[in-house]
Each structure stands twice: as C-alpha cells, then as structure tokens.
C-alpha cells in the first residue's frame, strides 16, 4: 500500500492554489471542475510521490483543520530560505535530536513542517 493523496481543506481554492504553486513550489497535476459538482485540484510537492487535493467539495474537513503535514527535505536551512524568499511566513529552523524542522501555515491555517532527518551514524 502507498499513501498517494491527502486532502487539505481550504476556503478559497484559487487563493490556496496560488499559495501552493507560486509560493511553496508545488506542481499542478489536475485542476478540474465537474459540471455542477466539485472542483478537484491535485498538487504535488517537488520530488514527492504523494500529492494533496484541494477544492470545493473534496473533503468534509473545515478549512484550516489539517494540522501537522510533514515534508522531508535534504537541507532545512535551504528549504526554509527558499520559502521565505517566495514570501512564505516560515519559522526559524528548530534543531531537535530527531531532525531539524521549519514550520509554516497556508492562508487557511493548515500547518506544515519541513523535516531534515538526522544523519545516521
């Protein structure tokens, strides 16, 4: 089994799509409006096998209620700097024994963490 799609509940699909593509750097895989039905927007982080879906009618979760999504990065400082340069309000890198983390939220308050895994000995 592989996890390949996670719903991220948003209030404004176009605003969220712009945030995730223009500021965070996700690729748009699908943007489809079903006539008279839901809008399905599938976005994928660079290098990821798992995508997210945003859109009207794609989840029953309240906008902003998806907390603690995590993306593994090779270099937390570089990833943080790239997001900050794109206008994302991202935290300083936090050093922990289990990795280095930077955190941010989308315009609705869904929260994300970037994790640089610790080096294995």
Q: Going residue by residue through the chain, which has 121 residues, state the pLDDT in tens, using 9 for 90 and above.
A: 999 999 999 999 999 999 999 999 999 999 999 998 889 999 999 999 999 999 988 999 999 999 999 999 999 999 999 999 999 999 999 999 999 999 999 999 999 999 999 987 6
How does 23-41 read in b/e, with b if 16+ C-beta sit within 10 Å? Answer: bbebeeeeeeeeeeeebbb
Distance from C-alpha of 38 to C-alpha of 62, rounded to nearest angstrom: 16
Q: CB count, 10 Å around CB of 5? A: 12
46's tokens: 């660079």
**Is residue 53 within 8 Å of 8, Cβ to Cβ?**
yes
Q: Residue 28 belongs to what H/E stretch?
A: strand 27-33
CATH class of 5-116: alpha beta
Distance from C-alpha of 80 to C-alpha of 101, rounded to nearest angstrom: 9
Q: What is the pairing mode between strands 69-72 and 94-96? A: unpaired
Task: Report the candidate in 105, 31, 30, 28 with the shortest Cα–Cα distance to residue 65.
Answer: 105
């Amino acid at each position: 089994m592989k996890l390949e799609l996670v719903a991220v509940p948003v209030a404004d699909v176009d605003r969220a799509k712009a945030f995730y593509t223009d500021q965070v750097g996700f690729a748009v895989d699908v943007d489809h409006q079903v006539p008279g039905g839901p809008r399905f927007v599938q976005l994928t982080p660079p290098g990821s096998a798992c995508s997210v879906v945003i859109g009207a009618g794609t989840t029953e979760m309240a906008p902003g209620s998806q907390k603690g999504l995590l993306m593994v990065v090779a270099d937390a400082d570089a990833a943080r700097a790239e997001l900050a340069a794109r206008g994302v309000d991202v935290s300083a890198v936090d050093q922990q024994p289990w990795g280095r983390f930077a955190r941010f939220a989308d315009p609705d308050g869904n929260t994300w963490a970037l994790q640089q895994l610790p080096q294995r000995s």
